[in-house]
């Protein structure tokens, strides 16, 4: 199983430029941490990103939360992603028919495809959503994740839905070149769908070292539970890092604490 192969050796199992970039960064910076920057202004987001950048392989955004979105923000974000060496993931969760999502991805105010390395989509509309996004994203070397499971209580993305989401990607080679992984709580090769030599990245949100949940259904697991026990590749942490009390340094230190916890769990997994 790919959980026993080091991130650096999985690079050769990919052809998608974004997947290669993610694994290279993880290997180079020794980090499987993605920080989710869910603050309501672009200026605050940039402050957080500058503090956590050195510790992460990826920054996850929800740009529709910002009160002050402009393309100066995305230009600055792209610049920071190069300077601090991370990948940009706009967590857009597309969910419409192929034609609509291709427009939502490329157009409107946000023009996500022009700056975000990675985005994600629900599988609920069927494979047309992958084709619609791929039409825009693949020529740009972008990557897509499908949502196979969610961290929130009562999620309907379970059992057969999860399994069919994995199968949807495997239907055509075109999908496989653009879909580089899944948002999930568990490793998918457990369900024996992955052929030898195929590799997908598994990203898991709902991660906290001391958080236990919120009042709106979020559920948290530790980095160890995600990486070691469930075989996930990347942990996504939001409030656990940017929500920490204290001065500027507190956020930086907390990101580093999560990076170390995630990396230790990965090393233990390899040595199992
Ligand atoms: N997110 C989840 N759970 C999911 C999916 C996405 O929490 O199943 I798919 C997003 C929501 C938020 C971030 O942007 O990940 C987690 O933030 P907190 O660590 O602050 O809970």
| Residue 134 annotated as lining a ligand binding site | no
pLDDT digits (tens, 9 = 90+) for 129-149: 999 999 999 999 999 999 999
CA of 206 to the centre of ligand 1 (A): 6
Q: Is 90 helix (H, G, I), strand (E, B) or coil?
A: strand
Q: Name the active-site residue from 93, 135, 138, 170.
A: 93
Active site residue 82: no
pLDDT value of residue 190: 52
| Residue 135 annotated as lining a ligand binding site | no
| Residue 104 annotated as lining a ligand binding site | no
Q: Whose CA is nearest to atom 16 of ligand 1?
A: 238
CA of 205 to the centre of ligand 1 (A): 5
CA angle 185, 201, 92 (to 5 degrees): 75
Average pLDDT score over the chain: 94
Q: Whose CA is nearest to atom 5 of ligand 1?
A: 150
Q: Give the rounded percent of residues in the chain with a pLDDT score beyond 90.
A: 86
Query: Taking the alpha carbons of 120, 124, 129, 131 in that order, is the dihedral positive or negative?
Result: positive
Is 191's pLDDT higher than 50? no
CB within 6 Å of ligand 1 — which residues?
36, 38, 62, 91, 147, 150-152, 183, 205-206, 218, 236-240
**CA–CA separation, 62 and 226 (whole Å):** 23
pLDDT digits (tens, 9 = 90+) for 74-127: 999 999 999 999 999 999 999 999 999 999 999 999 999 999 999 999 999 999
pLDDT value of residue 188: 64
Active site residue 93: yes
Tell me what the mean pLDDT of segment 208-232 comes to: 95
- Helices and strands (DSSP H and E) totals, the chain: 11, 8
CA of 119 to the centre of ligand 1 (A): 14
If one counts every other C-beta atom within 10 angstroms of the C-beta of residue 56, the result is 28
Q: What's the complex ipTM? A: 0.98
Give the model's confidence band at 196: pLDDT under 50 very low, under 70 low, under 90 confident, else very high.
low
Q: Whose CA is nearest to atom 18 of ligand 1?
A: 238
Is 173's pLDDT higher than 90? no
Of 94-98, 163-167, 190-194, 210-214, the least confident: 190-194
Q: Whose CA is nearest to atom 9 of ligand 1?
A: 150
pLDDT value of residue 93: 98
| Residue 247 annotated as lining a ligand binding site | no
**CA–CA separation, 114 and 71 (whole Å):** 10
| Residue 218 annotated as lining a ligand binding site | yes
Q: Whose CA is nearest to atom 10 of ligand 1?
A: 205
Q: Name the active-site residue from 30, 50, 85, 96.
A: 96
CA 167 to chain centre: 20
Contact 159, 179 (CB under 8 A): no
pLDDT value of residue 24: 98
Of 35-49, 131-145, 162-176, the least confident: 162-176
The closest-lying atom of ligand 1 relative to the alpha carbon of residue 120 is 9
The closest-lying atom of ligand 1 relative to the alpha carbon of residue 206 is 7
Active site residue 153: no
The closest-lying atom of ligand 1 relative to the alpha carbon of residue 237 is 19
């Amino acid at each position: 199983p790919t959980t026993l192969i080091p991130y650096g050796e999985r690079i050769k199992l990919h052809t998608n430029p974004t997947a290669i970039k993610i694994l290279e960064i993880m290997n180079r910076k020794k980090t499987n941490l993605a920080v989710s920057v869910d603050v309501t202004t672009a200026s605050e987001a940039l402050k957080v990103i500058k503090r956590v950048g050195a510790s992460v392989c990826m920054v996850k955004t929800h740009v529709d939360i910002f009160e002050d979105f402009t393309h100066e923000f995305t230009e600055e974000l792209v610049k920071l992603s190069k300077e601090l060496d991370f990948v940009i993931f706009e967590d857009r969760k597309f969910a419409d028919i192929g034609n609509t999502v291709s427009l939502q991805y490329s157009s409107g105010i946000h023009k996500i495809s022009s700056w975000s390395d990675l985005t994600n989509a629900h599988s609920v509309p069927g494979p047309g959503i992958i084709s619609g996004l791929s039409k825009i994203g693949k020529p740009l070397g972008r990557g897509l994740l499908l949502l196979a499971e969610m961290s929130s209580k009562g999620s309907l993305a379970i059992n057969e839905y999860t399994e069919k989401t994995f199968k949807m990607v495997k239907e055509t080679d075109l999908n496989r070149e653009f879909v580089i992984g899944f948002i999930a709580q568990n490793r998918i090769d457990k369900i024996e769908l992955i052929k030898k030599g195929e590799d997908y990245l598994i990203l898991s949100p709902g991660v906290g070292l001391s958080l236990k949940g919120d009042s709106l259904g979020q559920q948290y697991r530790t980095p160890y539970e995600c990486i070691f026990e469930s075989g996930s590749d990347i942990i996504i942490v939001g409030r656990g890092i940017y929500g920490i009390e204290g001065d500027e340094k507190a956020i930086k230190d907390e990101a580093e604490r999560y990076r170390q916890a995630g990396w230790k769990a990965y090393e233990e997994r390899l040595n199992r």
